[in-house]
Amino acid sequence: MDSESDIVQCKDYVILKRGNHIILHQLTKKLSIQFLGSSIDLSNIIGLPYSSMFRIEMVRKNSYMLERCNPDEIPTGLSAGNTEFGTDNRNIQDDNNAQALSKEEIIDMKNKGLSSQDIVTQLINNSKTFTHKTEFAQEKWLRKKSKKYSDYLQVLKPNIRLLSEVLMCNTASPNNFKLLGLRMDTLSQIITFVNFQPQGKYIVYENSCEGLICASLLNLTDCRGKLLNVITPNYSFNKRKALVAMKFPEEKHQSVININLSTFAKYANSGNTVSNSVICNDSKSLENIGDSEATSSISSCGEKECNSEVVEVSSSLSTSGNITSTNNENHDLKRKAESEESECKRTSYQERENEEVRQLLDNKADGLIVVCKEKPNDFVKEMIQFVAPSRSFVVFSQFQAPLIQLFQDLKQRQDVINIRLVENWLRSYQVLSDRTHPEINMLATGGYLLTGIIVTNN
């Protein structure tokens, strides 16, 4: 029997894959989504296990629903039938005039509910160059079109690999990388260079990465590990999509401690106690605190309005006014008791987290990871003092110039050795029988990494 975490539930983040297109979507009460220009009803996926396959069935024009199907029913590839093929492609001109069908006509066929096989057949019949392609080129063309016009959709459970693929790359242009130009290979290099250990304690500072760095580290952390997540004052927990999508259990979230950057800087300079008002173990707790404060302020305003109304009414109707005042006093006492209880719990919680942060910084961390869009120079030089000797640090930047300056500054220090500034190079290869085929299109850079090891001055 599938566990609860393996079943698709409302409010979950899911990965929707249709051919070459893959997106991350949160299931809400409105169970419909615009996917590749079509409105698809997702209500049928609730309560079913992840990795289920669905056939996209047309309900009406530009509106579709999902029907669960057996993966064995899905065709492995489209067939071109008994067509001729050429000996080479030398006479084929890539002038975008080979296809007689227009984009509007193809969309019209999709709106009429034609299957992918029927659409591809029409494309073959109206192509001027298909019969001149080699047999291998025809197979490659068919695979490409079968993914583009696929009638099937798969619902996948988010993991770090899939989230990296969704958040880092733009589906429309696979080489248009987002998240500061961070690539999958660069993410793996960050984890490798910092020598990440599941039971270790690490300081992490990231922004503009949708929480992917913290989620990747938390995925590898066990119950003994700790992540001190340094956040900016205007940090929005709505921008931590990767952390929420992974749906980590509560014990995992207990491993993350969030601390405000400004307070961390004060602690670094003075060594004083970290402020209670900016520490939170989990984003959910911070959101709950905000909600409780908002509720208290709203209720207090409402009580003032009620009191003013009671005064006006009591001048004319003393009896009903007395009853209203009594009820209002009971309501105030209940609100006050709840507020005091909530404040007591919050204070105790903050004191405990304050102590954990202080112990982590005093005992030194096992590594430092910085991924940010601003210049990291001053920040990194302040954070290094909290890293234990013989431990590593990694700094990522989309541009080389800030890291060159940081490289030169760290070279002057006596407590940092083995400083390296590297750039990863990535090219995808298609592995075929007896040969490989490199992809011509690739991104020029995936950012730069500055690494080093902390040592003692003596």
Q: What is the Cα–Cα distance from 95 to 346, expressed in whole angstroms?
A: 67
Tracing tokens 């793996």 back to the chain, one arrives at 188
What is the pLDDT tens value at each position of the chain, 458 positions in all? 466 778 999 889 999 998 888 899 989 888 888 887 778 889 889 999 999 999 888 888 778 888 888 877 776 655 555 566 777 777 777 777 778 888 888 878 877 777 777 888 888 888 888 887 888 888 888 888 877 777 888 999 999 999 998 888 754 455 556 788 888 889 999 999 999 999 999 999 998 888 999 999 999 999 889 999 988 766 666 678 899 999 999 888 888 988 888 777 777 776 554 544 444 444 443 334 333 333 333 234 344 343 433 333 333 434 444 544 555 666 666 666 666 555 555 555 566 667 777 777 788 899 999 998 888 988 898 889 899 999 999 999 999 999 999 999 999 999 999 999 999 888 888 888 888 888 777 777 778 999 999 998 76
218, 221, 226, 230 alpha-carbon torsion, rounded to 10°: -20
Q: What is the pLDDT of residues 382-424, one digit of tens each?
A: 889 899 999 999 999 999 999 999 999 999 999 999 999 999 8
CA distance 368 to 307: 55
Question: Cα-atom radius of gyration of the chain, to the nearest Å?
Answer: 29
The length of the chain in residues reads 458
Q: How far is residue 117's CA from residue 114's CA, in Å, rounded to a whole number?
A: 8
Query: What was the pLDDT predicted at 176?
Result: 55
pLDDT digits (tens, 9 = 90+) for 213-237: 999 999 999 988 999 998 876 666 6
Cβ–Cβ under 8 Å, residues 246 and 253: no
CA distance 175 to 172: 9
Rounded CA-CA distance 116/118 in Å is 5
What pLDDT, on the 0 to 100 scale, is given for residue 318? 44
Tokens 């004191």 -> residue: 351
Domain boundaries along the sequence of the chain? 4-73+152-159, 164-272+364-454, 284-361
Q: Tally helices (H) and strands (E) across the chain.
A: 13, 18
Q: How far apart are CA 242 and CA 75, in angstroms?
A: 33
Predicted pLDDT at 38: 79
Q: Does residue 203 come out as left (phi exceeding 0), alpha (psi in the -120 to 50 range) or beta?
A: beta
| Cα–Cα distance measured from residue 314 to residue 306, given in angstroms and rounded to the nearest whole number | 12
Task: Name which of 326, 360, 447, 348 is nearest 395 in CA terms.
Answer: 447
* Structure token digits, residue 91: 């006479």
For 97, phi then psi, to 5°, come to: -115, 10
DSSP E strand boundaries for 242-376: 256-260, 365-371
Q: What is the DSSP letter of 280?
A: B
The model's pLDDT over 284-332, given as tens digits with 9 standing for 90+, comes to 433 343 333 333 332 343 443 434 333 333 334 344 445 445 556 666 6
Taking CA 170 as the corner, what is the angle to CA 169 and CA 175, rounded to the nearest 5 degrees?
70
Q: Which amino acid is at 282?
A: D
Domain 164-272+364-454 -> CATH class: alpha beta
What local confidence, expressed as pLDDT, does residue 313 receive?
A: 31
Query: What is the pTM assigned to this prediction?
Result: 0.74
Choosing among 1.10.2020.10, 3.90.1300.10, 3.10.330.20, 3.40.50.300, the CATH entry for 4-73+152-159 is 3.10.330.20
